[in-house]
Amino acid sequence: MTREILYYQDNHLTTFTSTVEECRKEDGRYALVLDRTAFYPEGGGQPCDRGFLGDLPVLHVAKGENGPVHYTAAPIEPGTDIVCRVDGVHRFDYMQQHTGQHIISSVLLNEGDWATLSVHQGEEYTSIEVESSEISEENLHRVEREVNRIINRNIPVKTLWTSEQEIEKYPLRRPPKVTGEIRLVQIDGVDCVPCGGIHTSTTGEVGLVLYLGQEKIRGHVRTLWKIGERAYYLAKINQQILSQLGSKYSVPSGELLERLELQDREIFAREGELLKAKEELLDFHLHNLRSQIDRKGILTATVQVNDKKFLQNAALMLLEEGCSLLALVNRQGEDLQWIIGAAENSTFEFSQFKSNILPMINGKGGGRGPLWQGKGDSTKDLEGFFQALRDSCGV
């Protein structure tokens, strides 16, 4: 039976001595009850403490009938005196999360009657689901500002015990979930709520609260918060990123957005100019090809165009304009792209020439009339390729 619950007496106590009262095997682990403990068991939305019993890491702490139950991987003989250490960084982090949540929940209620429905204290951030389907960002920024004002006022966080009969005397934010003796946590002028968790000693110990954003869940708004040192580190990292971006773009960080918007507009304008220049270049190539069509409407030509769609677009356009047979090759070094096109009324049969002409350019590909296309990787006999095509028409 645990005689002394130390975490309610001193929320900053992390090292203490104790005697093992009970030790039993449970599901492959050992469940220990100490005569006094500062280890907070999981409950009330707050995770349990971490730390060591002697040299044994504490795997979990749960509420038990005889007091908090500490789980370890090895046993300790009952009656043994041990030195116990609570992970103070982890404990303080969750004291900040928990007390910060009290303050945020009370401000949400006072500012807009947005009652807290559920709370999750995660490893990254704390979320608070509220009884509302919509809250504006402006309102939540106002809540954030008021929460930080309360933190700066450094108001004591007091705890007191009362009974079910006496509880009506207190201005509670929500009714108690337990009966009998009830523990109240009170921040004068801010919040009063039944709670068995561990809190900071003053609102000032919460340090800082940053509103991260909101999401919708079950038709309610869930607000997301960075609390305590987590908020400080987020602000620090963001400041470093802004500072680096400011150096990169040679502007104060406050002018970064304006600078990047200007850059976006410049890029958009340049892309427009580039597109126009590309279209003009393609028009030039197309014009050049038209001038090479012979009297019989046959065209064989080589181009160098950095646009994979050019051959197909050009071939379709030239056939439509009256070209009867064409073979175009787009050269990119030794690699080449080829296309052969024939007018609808043409008697040209690609299948009859495929095996003769494609080897001349080491080509592959095929298709269905009026267009056949593919790739190749030899330009040595390009003239032979073109001539073979002309020969096919008896030219």
Residues making contact with Zn ion (CB under 5 A): 185, 195, 197
Contact (Cβ atoms closer than 8 angstroms) between residue 212 and residue 143: no
Contact (Cβ atoms closer than 8 angstroms) between residue 38 and residue 84: yes
Nearest CA among 376, 84, 115 for reference residue 223: 115
Q: What's the CA gap between 104 and 187, in Å, rounded?
A: 12
Q: Which of 189/213 has CB closer to Zn ion?
A: 189
Q: Which of 195/325 has CB closer to Zn ion?
A: 195
Q: Which of 118/292 has CB closer to Zn ion?
A: 118
Least Å from the CB of residue 50 to Zn ion: 19
Q: Which of 185/314 has CB closer to Zn ion?
A: 185
Q: Which of 28/175 has CB closer to Zn ion?
A: 175
Q: Which of 61/195 has CB closer to Zn ion?
A: 195
Least Å from the CB of residue 205 to Zn ion: 14
Least Å from the CB of residue 195 to Zn ion: 3
What strand order describes the sheet that includes 116-121? 116-121, 126-130, 220-227, 209-217
Nearest CA among 378, 338, 337, 331 for reference residue 359: 378
Least Å from the CB of residue 197 to Zn ion: 4
Least Å from the CB of residue 46 to Zn ion: 8
Least Å from the CB of residue 53 to Zn ion: 26
Nearest CA among 218, 97, 50, 211 for reference residue 143: 211
Q: For tokens 């707050």, what's the residue?
A: 46
According to DSSP, the β-strands at 157-163 and 181-187 are: antiparallel
Tokens linked to 243: 């500072």
